[in-house]
Amino acid sequence: MLGHPEGEVVLTKACKTRDIIQMIPTLASCSFDEIVNAAGPDQAQWLQLYVNSDRQISEKFVRHAESRGMKGLFITADAPQLELTLLKFPAGHREKDMRQKYSQEAPDEISRNSTEVVRDQGAARAISNFIDPSLCWDDIAWFKSITNMPILIKGIQTAQDAVLAAKYGCKGIVLSNHGGRQLDFAPSAIEILAEVMDALKRENLDEGFEVYIDGGIRRGSDIFKAIALGAKGVGIGRPFLVSYIYA
C-alpha cells in the first residue's frame, strides 16, 4: 500500500501481462491469498520466507503456499538480526527505516504468517519481532521434509556459501546484499557473481544449480551483464515500485 492502493496485487497483475515471475514476500501490505488470487491460471509465483522462531508457523505457511501453487521457496538468510546495537552485534542499523516509520493496518495474517507484528515502527523492527536468528545450514533438511518446492537461499554473499548451498541440496541461490540496507558495506551482487560461478564450476556444482542476483538492476543492459556472467535471472524491486508510483 506504500506505493499503490492495490499494494502487491497490482504487481501480480503487471507480472501476469508481461510473463514475469513474481516473488511474494512474507511481509506484504496485502495478504498472501489476495496476491495469489489475483494471479492467472499459469502464472509463476515464488515465496520469499522469513523463517519464524516458531517453526510450526513457518511450516503452516510453507505448506499453504505449496498448496496454492508456489513454484519455489526462497529462504532469506541475510537478515538474521535487525535493530540491534552495533556494540552488541554488527547487524542492520537502518537509520532511515527508524526515521521514516509508517503506520499501516495489517492484512489477514492467518494463512500467511499467524504472527502479530508491530507495523508502525519501521520494517526492520517488524521483522525483528519474529525472525529466527538461529537459522543454519542444518535447517535445510527440515525444510526439505515439509515441502516438495525447490529450495533456494536468498542473501548469499560469498562463493563459499554458494558452494555450501549446493552441497546441502538447495536448487539455487540469490546473491543479494538486502538492497544495501542490512550492512551498508556489503558488496553488490554483481561484484561477486563471477567468483561464485567459478567456485561452483570448480566443484562441479553448477549444472542444474540456478544463480540469481538482485539489487542495483536499473536497465536492460544490467540484465544482460548478469546473464553474461552466469546468472539465470535477476530480481527487480525498486524500478517496479517507482513505475507504479509515477505511472
Nearest C-alpha neighbor of 154 from the set 97, 77, 210, 223: 77
Percentage helix, strand, coil for the chain under 3-state DSSP, each rounded to 5:
40, 15, 50
> Residue 48 in contact with residue 154, Cβ under 8 Å?
yes
Marked catalytic residue, from 93, 97, 161, 178: 178
212 is catalytic: no
Euclidean distance between the first and final Cα of the chain, in Å? 15
Could you give the 3-state DSSP secondary structure of residue 138?
coil
102 is catalytic: no
DSSP codes joined into one string, 15-82 = HHHHT--EEEPSS-SS-HHHHHHTS-TT--EEEEEPPBSSHHHHHHHHHHHHHTT---EEEE-S-SSB
Active-site amino acid positions: 50, 78, 178
